[in-house]
Structure 1
Amino acid sequence: MKEISGVNLANFIIAGTEKAGTTSIFTYLSTHPSVCGSTVKETDFFRNSFTGNREKDIVSYSNYFERCSPEIPIVMEASPGYLGSGAEVAARIHTLVPKTKLLFILRNPIDRIYSSFNFHVGKLNLDSDLSFEKYIDKCIAYDSGQRTPAELGIKEWYLKIISFGRYADYLKYYYQLFPENQIKIMFFENMSQDIDGFMCELCQFLEISPDYFNGYDFRRINVTYESKLKWLHKIAVYFNAKSERFLRQRPELKQLMVKLYKKINQAREGYDEISDENRDRLKQYYLPSITALQTLIGTKNIPWNI
């Protein structure tokens, strides 16, 4: 059921986390006949556009789902930034769509921040000359209150990424407001090992048929890669952002365009392994939060060995 009579608002939100397969899951589910995805994957409505004026917010938010038929049971968006902004966003979501179901896909926080760093370097959000070690130095300096973003020369959002891996710090706001049967915690590692089982479990949570995904071609989406020509990549990033609403409704065309672009400008896919020194450093940073996460989510096993 939709939250407000006569308009479509999301009744399923993929709310986190970055670099944990949210784009892939959104893309797969968007093809399911019982699911309608937002016109852009990351509406970020509850971070950037929510006003607290109920009538205005209903109209603004429903614009992302105007193409969704009333007969389709699941209306979905995916904004992974909602997890790290949980202190504000959880209450906003609860105010507008209190019955929505929430999915949080979590990933080993060390692997996640390293993937995020390489992704944002590839997207030209971080300087390509910045080493991962120096990036961690800057994140910790900001996280501890020693330096400001202006002093560190990096936008605040990218400095906060290290803290977003302390999942329990942000999930607690959702557990305080939403009943547990509306919250689904899943893991990137399980998705990577058994995508069929992952999607079957998710479909059961959404109460839609998993049979649609029998024999489905689960292509990896939004894979990090290094570009050859930075100027060309800047143009491609700009074009992708401006055309997402159009291309989101034409996934086959987008896949073709990405394939052709990679042939022209991809230097390599993926990135080097994280060093043992950096992994050990981050292990000490994240260990207390992993203990807190296990306490918060209870019996569900966390598939990380850090």
Structure 2
Amino acid sequence: MTSDDLLRHHGDVDAAPGLVDFAVNVRGGRPPAWLRDRLASALDRVGAYPSAADDLRAREAVAGRHGCEPDEVLILNGSAEGFSLLPNLRSRKAAVVHPSFTEPEVALRAGGIPVHRVLLDQADGFVLHPERVPADADLVVIGNPTNPTSVLHPGERIRELARGRTVLVDEAFMDAIPGEPETLAGADGILVFRSLTKMWALPGLRAGYAVGPPDLLTRLAHNRPQWPVGTLVLEAVVACCEAPALAESEVAALDAQAHREALRAELAEFVIGDPRAPFLLLEIPDGERVRLALRERGIAVRRGDTFPGLGKDHLRVAVRSPRECLPLVAALRELEVRP
């Protein structure tokens, strides 16, 4: 693989059909029945173009969820579309905090934006050090909680980065943390991307949104095509921002927290740092051999060496229920893996 190929590698490549999937961080495998019903009912409207009123309805739903105004919301075809639009901000120099999801860096480099990598240290738990960000970087990108390290950075620490520059926080997994304690969605001057993919099992629909200053969103959306977001995406955004969905996601986040701690206890000798998201970063000696051996046993885990700052001994595993995790734990014991 070239370095570009490594950056474009994602967990869905590791999770081939027929494997027990610990590589992809999607809850439940398919949307809940009530959400499937909402999407099915919206099919009757796909014979008409999405209207400005449809878009406003979705933006109002997001604004109500995050306590902001509708003009501070941009509906996206998943966070991935938002990342692809980042070059529109015309940054002179972007700083991307790593290890983290690689698509923002890919998009910025493809758009001709110089990128500086800010590498956090495993030895101190991948703690954010704002002073490491170059003073001349006018755009900073950070994940919170961060994929793949599962670190939750304090919101106030991230705010320190925003003095005189744009800060983008990828909060794709924030709704998987009970109470969303460090969210900056709706905070003054901060650009936040949210995804519905993980919590609501919608990777095939590509639904998400950005929250941030209106002028920044206008620049981000420059030259998007007409009708950039479809009817089903708009309906999914509305449905997932309503009170019953928020209550369900809070329960799911509490479940994920309990399941994470159960799996963390089973794999304690390999777990890095203080994980807070619904996945664990592991460091296992001869990790590539272990990953391939697990695959031969029908189990997919996410390779870690495609993330800047990590290597072949790093593996990311999605959190599942204790019952679902039994095959993974048993296989690692069969392989006699030792720290």
TM-score interval (norm. to shorter): under 0.3
TM-score w.r.t. the length of structure 2 is 0.25
Q: Which has the higher strand share?
A: 2
Higher helix share: 1
